[in-house]
Chain A
Amino acid sequence: MKGVIRDKKAFLVFLLPCLLFYLFSVFYPIEESIRLSFMKWGGLGAKKFVGFQNYIKLFQDKVFYTAFFNNLIYLAIVVCMQVLIGLLFAVLLTYIRRGATLIKTLYYVPCIITTVAVTQMFRSMYAVQPEGIINQVLKAFGLGRFATSWLTNTKTVLACVSIPEGWRYSGLYMVIFYAALISVDPEICEAARVDGANAWQTLFRVKIPMIKEVLLLVLTMALTGALRGFDIPYILTNGGPGNVSELMSTYMYKKAFGSNQFGYGSAIAVFIIVESMLVVAILNRIFTSKDEIEEKKSLRRTRRSKARS
């Protein structure tokens, strides 16, 4: 038995099922999307190769630009809510001695509620007829002039479809941040205090830099999640009214599966993939400090010189 595990070929065999599954479920669809994005296909009959036509059309499509800029606003709202609220609550939670677990669980609950339920809840909250809680509260405080139909008002709808997503996952990020914060060695904080740092300084100069890796992970998750944002906006407004709350993913879905333009839809999908990869690359770059870059470079240099010798 020992021999099998030592054998490098055996690794391959054990890896194979996972690798095949990965290739089949992740790599193959991406490859197909890329291939389809150069085709014109209505779902029936032969696919017609059209070169870059879908991409040319993409960059001339007004709705696509609307969706792109909407997506940026959506991204800003969702990521800010998730990361800031998550971090704030996690920090507050570290000061609580009793009931932290209960609070953690309660704040985590929205993550496990199904999307449709979350959507229905927000739909009723935003509603005018029967009057939703937001308008009721506004009226109760004498702010009735601000009451509106949140989901059909072209000025409010985009923010309204972003908030549920931000609200929903802030609990998840809170749990991640909390776990990271409590794992920071208390002796370091103690040392900072001895050196005269106040609570704010300890938090911003010591604790948060110590959990930088986790912050990067959370930002990556939140950003790519927001770029792919689909379900809540789709169910709440389906991109409407008009295309006012259209996101790239809802537009992609509409084009591919609503309008039968699989080629064009795939071109949008490819754009989303490239965009997500770019964002992650930029994020990585920002979070890698100069020292680390130098470190990596020198490591590479030593490896190269070792290889040469």
Chain B
Amino acid sequence: MRKKLISAALALTFAMSALTAGNVTAYADDGDVTTVTWYASRPVDGAIDKTMREIAQQYSDEHDGKWKMEVITEADRPSYLSKLRTLVAGGNMPDIIDIDATPYCQELVDAGLLVDVKKFLQDENLYDSYQPTALKYQEFTNGTMYTLPLEYHVEMIWYNKKIFADNNLEVPKTMDEWLDVCAKLKDAGITPIAVDGVDRWPVLRYLAFMPFRESGNDYIINLSEGKASMGDDIGKKAIDFMQKIGPYFQDGFGATDYATAQAMFLDGQAAMYYIGDWEIAAMQDEYQNGDIGYFYLPTYDGAKTAANEFCVNSGIGMAFNSETFDDKTKDFIKYVIANYGKLYAEKDQMSPIKTELSTDHEYSDLYKSVYNDMNNTGENFLKPWDCYLDSNSCQVMEDNLLLLAAGDQGPDEFINLVDSAIADYTNQ
């Protein structure tokens, strides 16, 4: 009896430990139902999320439910990225992931984990069905492409027409005029610009403006590769602009989150707000009433990039695990590309896939206006700096940028910190 009891207990213990040690694989072939996992970083119930789920459902129905897509969403980008890194480090990369063409993405490519999306699109004759800029945005600096865009955006500066009229202000055309407008607003006791400092990236955009006007994306490419310094002429201009515009952000912008910043602008507590067209639904009513308008990034004489060139992007891309990218997944992706454009545009979104505006959906004036702008953008586009910088340098830059913009840190220290972080990475 005793021996039996002990051996039973032992067996149970080993069985338990074997269970916990078992590996969790993302790709499951459960009987004859194929489940593909998409680890996504898109707002839940946002247009992309909805469109993809609709398409996946439609596709599943057409295949008698033998195909399923499981979407695991983590909309908060920083925590998404750290979870993704942890999953990859643990050898459990999901079948489909969301990722920008960052140095980390390049590491995944170098490790052979991602599918060459450019080749896939070309092989399937689908490359030309996309907006060229949308695909170009997804490319690495060497021209290769491993991510598929699901969105297409322009970023603009929204402004409160009433505040501008009350203070006799014109929409600024040049950077100096822009700073001038800010100064006048501040003198009148109005917060010139609302910005979301909690997420860091909106502040980082302001640092990127001058270098983009000076050099396109050349400066940031060189900077990220250690061939340029934050203390170069262009870098100093960027810092100078940041120090000039920083005081026009709302008080305590570093602790203001996305929703609050946007609400400040829409409530008329701030005169301007920089955000992309993904927020046109939020801007719709005020725009229709003539309360707000928008303008694109100002320029100046002798700038290298034109007035119709600014931040155009196709957002975070979708990448595929090369180990699980089989014919079934390929077929699904082709199905997505065939159906996505129309469904997505009908949700008042700009599609990265060339789509004629369908007649059975009524588009707002704002949508049509932005749609037109997008078809008339120049060849250059500002690519966000977080796509070029390695994660550590980006973090150092973003962390210290808040201090720089708030006037709590001098340019020299900022230059030093950024340069040494980048040197750390490039010397590896």
Contacts and interface: CB of A to CB of B under 8 A. Distances in A.
A17 B82 CA distance: 32
A257 B406 contact: no
Interface stretch (A2-10, A269-277, A280-288): A2-10
Interface residues of B, number: 46
A239 B400 CA distance: 11
A293 interface: no
Interface string B249-287: 011111110001000100001000000000000000000
Interface string B391-407: 11001000110110010
Contacts of A261: 392
B138 to A, nearest CB: 21
B8 to A, nearest CB: 9
Interface residues of A, number: 44
Contacts of A149: 251-252, 254-255
A16 interface: yes
Contact of B9 (A13, A238, A254): A13
A44 B111 contact: yes
Given A13-B10, A24-B20, A240 B111 contact: no
Contacts of A4: 1-2, 5-6
Contact of B254 (A14, A24, A241, A243): A241
Which of A42, A151, A242, A258 has most B Cβ within 10 Å? Answer: A242
Interface stretch (B62-70, B83-91, B143-151, B223-231): B83-91
B250 A129 contact: yes
A26 B252 CA distance: 41
A107 interface: no
Contact of B256 (A3, A14, A43, A129): A129
A134 to B, nearest CB: 12
Interface string B323-341: 0000000000000000000
A291 to B, nearest CB: 45
B252 A154 contact: no
A260 interface: yes
B33 interface: no
Given A16-B13, A17-B13, A241 B399 contact: yes
A218 B288 CA distance: 61
A60 B220 CA distance: 28
Contact of B85 (A24, A123, A242, A260): A260
A152 B253 contact: yes
Please list the 5 inter-chain residue pairs (A to B) with the smallest Cβ-Cβ separation, ordered nearest first: A149-B252, A259-B392, A43-B89, A152-B254, A151-B255
Given A24-B17, A254-B395, 19 more contacts: A13-B13, A17-B13, A17-B16, A24-B20, A44-B89, A127-B252, A127-B255, A129-B250, A129-B251, A149-B252, A149-B254, A150-B255, A241-B408, A243-B399, A244-B403, A258-B81, A258-B391, A258-B392, A260-B104
12 contacts: A16-B9, A16-B10, A20-B17, A123-B255, A127-B255, A130-B260, A149-B252, A149-B255, A152-B254, A240-B399, A244-B408, A259-B391
Interface of B: 1-2, 5-6, 9-10, 13, 16-17, 20, 78, 81-82, 85-86, 88-89, 104, 107-108, 111, 113, 191, 197-198, 250-256, 260, 264, 269, 390-392, 395, 399-400, 402-403, 406, 408-409
Interface of A: 3-4, 7, 9-10, 13-14, 16-17, 20, 24, 42-45, 123, 126-130, 148-154, 237-244, 254-255, 257-262
